[in-house]
Structures are given as C-alpha cells and as structure tokens.
Amino acid sequence: DARVTQTPRHKVTEMGQEVTMRCQPILGHNTVFWYRQTMMQGLELLAYFRNRAPLDDSGMPKDRFSAEMPDATLATLKIQPSEPRDSAVYFCASGHYLGRMNTEAFFGQGTRLTVV
C-alpha cells in the first residue's frame, strides 16, 4: 500500500518550543513537497526537494523554519521557535518527476499543529 506517511498526526505545543514534523515519501518518488494549510491562506507551498536537494524554499519563513531530507525515505520540517501563528495543518506530498514522465503529487494525512 504505497502512501505518504506523516508523523505526528497531531501536535500541541507551547509557544517557543521546537517542533519537528516527519514525512516518509512513497518509495521511489524523487520529489517531496511541504505545504501548510490554513483557512485564511489555503494551501501554501513552503518548500520542495528533488533527489533530496532543495529546489525552492521561498515560501518558508527562513528565520524559524527549516526543511531537510536526511535520506530518500525521510523529510523533516522543523520550526524553532514556534509561534501561535504557525498553527495550521502541514502536509507532505511526494511525486516522481523525470522529464516528461511524471506523476501528480500524492498527499500524506497531514500534521495538525496547534501552538498555544
């Protein structure tokens, strides 16, 4: 059953604490996205990677957010320090891009983050 797996599913933390969200992309996919979804802003692209290299992280607040892919089976999104305005659902998605042959983005179930 190929799917994108995100952990944790829910996270409640106090302002100022570090938050780490993890994503296991579908095996064989070479592109990983991080999106943030809120009622006000919709689904915003924070960053994406191809073959573990960051291609675009312009949507991510650099002072507190960082995204990495330590290996092909793990992507992480870290917030340090967290703020109440970071409360949102964070989605990871993966796909395979190879020139003209590519797949759509498949989404994980999301991490619902609440910062109090």
Partner 1 sequence: QKEVEQNSGPLSVPEGAIASLNCTYSDRVSQSFFWYRQYSGKSPELIMSIYSNGDKEDGRFTAQLNKASQYVSLLIRDSQPSDSATYLCAVRNTGGFKTIFGAGTRLFVKA
Question: Taking CB under 8 A as the rule, which mask of x and - marks residues 6-45 in contact with partner 1?
Answer: -------------------------x-x-x-----xxx-x
Q: Which of residues 71-90 bind partner 1 (CB under 8 A)?
A: none
For partner 1, give the closer residue by CB, 2 or 43: 43
Least Å distance, CB 61 to partner 1, is 18
- Interface with partner 1, residue 63, by CB under 8 A: no
Counting other chains too, the contacts that 8-14 makes at CB distance below 8 Å and 24 or more residues apart are 8/111, 9/109, 9/110, 9/111, 9/112, 10/111, 10/112, 10/114, 11/111, 11/112, 11/113, 11/114, 12/114, 12/115, 12/116, 13/82, 13/113, 13/114, 13/115, 13/116, 14/82, 14/115, 14/116
| Interacting residues with partner 1 (CB under 8 A) | 31, 33, 35, 41-43, 45, 48, 50, 55-56, 91, 95, 97, 102, 104-110
